[in-house]
């Protein structure tokens, strides 16, 4: 039985109108550019509004029948990421953890089709420069890491699945309002001769009063990562995203890049969105309670007018392994914001400590010889 070939996108090859070579999307433009003759083939952006889909209606009536897209993907056995691979590639490294991937592990799955995306704005040269500068800035990094940074093939352009949610919330609460006041208290001190004196001082105390009430919040485009393959600490640090510039989904923008299929579905995504909304709701409640201090004892939140979008956002990713542990470097493909994990070279650190101790010992030695 012939082993499946993992495709980069679902559509066929896109051919240059001048020389018939394969085309790739050119970041920062709305064109597919030919690497051979330099011709730019304009992508006609669809004249469609970016749709906000009603969440409850979709879950109750359309979840199983919504438009799907067939993706041929390879699942990484180390981190669980499911990514596409370039056509005719039989082996590669996982862009999320650096683990080897092989085509025979490929499968086809049906997933909800994205409705919109943000195209890459940062090209590979700029991303490579940002990666190199980041690694140069690392103290105590292993020597091999800096060599790794100059290998351009180690940097992968990825479209990552995200969800965005809008929602109105109505929250009832009970709690306590603390109001500070000043009071004078008397205390006794004893001096060195054993003589006692009585003195007074002003202290701040808090008077607590039970309160209850309700507040309203309105949330727009709460962004939730649809992947479990990347550390959220770093992906959230890549925000904000200019989601006001979303364009209708077109696979032409995916040409030349890899994609990941979502692992967090639309239902779980909204639970994650609630977690992001929660601190904002708490802050609104605290403002409503007023006073100098606030305690929230109970809270009940009702969500209404919930809508969502399924979108793809562009990241440049480099995953490398050091001492068999994965480390990742991420670049926002729109703004150039960088985030990353880094290993430490304990050999360098140990040598630095030894040199520092030796220097201190030498200083002490010569100081005591005088």
pLDDT tens per residue across all 370 residues of the chain? 333 333 334 444 577 777 767 778 888 888 888 777 877 888 888 888 898 999 999 988 877 766 666 666 777 777 777 777 655 444 567 777 777 766 555 566 667 788 999 999 999 889 888 887 877 766 655 555 555 544 545 788 989 999 999 999 999 999 999 999 999 988 888 888 878 888 888 999 999 999 999 999 999 999 999 988 888 888 999 999 999 999 999 888 988 888 888 889 899 999 999 999 999 999 999 999 999 999 999 999 999 999 999 999 999 998 777 667 777 889 999 999 998 775 554 454 455 556 566 666 666 656 676 5
Instruction: Establish if 13 belongs to a structural domain.
Output: no
Domain assignment of residue 35, given as a range: 23-172+212-350
Instruction: Establish if 14 belongs to a structural domain.
Output: no
CA distances from 164 to 133, 237, 269, 317, 354 (A): 32, 16, 9, 22, 52
Strand 91-93 relative to strand 100-102, pairing = antiparallel
Longest dimension (CA), the chain: 102
- Sequence-distant (6+) residues with CB within 8 A of 105 are 74, 75, 77
Q: Which residues pair with 156 in a beta bridge?
A: 317
Instruction: Establish if 360 belongs to a structural domain.
Output: no
Token code pair at residue 311: 């979108």
Q: What is the pTM of this model?
A: 0.77
Q: Are 310 and 264 in contact (CB under 8 A)?
A: no
Instruction: Establish if 9 belongs to a structural domain.
Output: no
Instruction: Establish if 44 belongs to a structural domain.
Output: yes
Instruction: Establish if 359 belongs to a structural domain.
Output: no
Number of domains in the chain: 1
Instruction: Establish if 241 belongs to a structural domain.
Output: yes
Instruction: Establish if 275 belongs to a structural domain.
Output: yes
């Amino acid at each position: 039985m012939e082993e499946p070939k993992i495709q980069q996108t679902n559509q066929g090859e896109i051919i240059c109108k001048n020389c018939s070579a394969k085309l790739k999307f050119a970041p920062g433009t709305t064109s597919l550019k030919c690497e051979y003759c330099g011709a730019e083939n304009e992508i006609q952006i669809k004249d469609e509004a970016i749709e906000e889909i009603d969440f409850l209606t979709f879950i109750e009536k359309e979840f199983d029948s919504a438009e799907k897209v067939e993706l041929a993907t390879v699942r990484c056995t180390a981190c669980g990421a499911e990514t596409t691979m370039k056509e005719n590639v039989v082996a590669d490294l996982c862009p999320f953890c650096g683990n080897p991937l092989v085509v025979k592990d490929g499968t086809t799955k049906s997933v909800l089709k994205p409705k919109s995306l943000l195209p890459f704005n940062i090209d590979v040269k700029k991303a490579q420069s940002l990666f190199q500068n980041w690694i140069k800035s690392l103290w105590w990094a292993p020597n091999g890491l800096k060599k790794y940074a100059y290998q351009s093939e180690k940097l992968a352009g990825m479209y990552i699945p995200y969800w965005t949610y809008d929602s109105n919330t109505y929250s009832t609460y009970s709690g306590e309002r603390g109001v500070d006041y000043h009071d004078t208290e008397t205390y006794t001190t004893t001096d060195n001769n054993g003589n006692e004196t009585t003195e007074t001082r002003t202290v701040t105390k808090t008077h607590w009063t039970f309160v209850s009430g309700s507040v309203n919040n309105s949330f727009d485009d709460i962004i939730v990562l649809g992947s479990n393959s990347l550390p959220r600490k770093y992906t959230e640090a890549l925000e904000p995203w200019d989601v006001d510039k979303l364009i209708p989904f077109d696979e032409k923008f995916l040409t030349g890049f890899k994609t990941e299929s979502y692992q967090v579905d639309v239902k779980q995504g909204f639970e994650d969105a609630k977690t992001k909304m929660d601190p904002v709701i708490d802050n609104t409640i605290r403002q409503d309670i007023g006073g100098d201090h606030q305690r929230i004892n109970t809270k009940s939140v009702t969500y209404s007018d919930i809508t969502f979008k399924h979108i793809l956002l562009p990241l440049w990713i480099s995953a490398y392994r050091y001492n068999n542990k994965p480390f990742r470097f991420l670049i926002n493909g729109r703004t150039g914001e960088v985030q990353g994990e880094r290993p430490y070279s304990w050999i360098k650190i140990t040598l630095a400590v030894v040199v520092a101790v030796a220097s201190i010992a030498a200083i002490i030695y010569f100081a005591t010889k005088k």
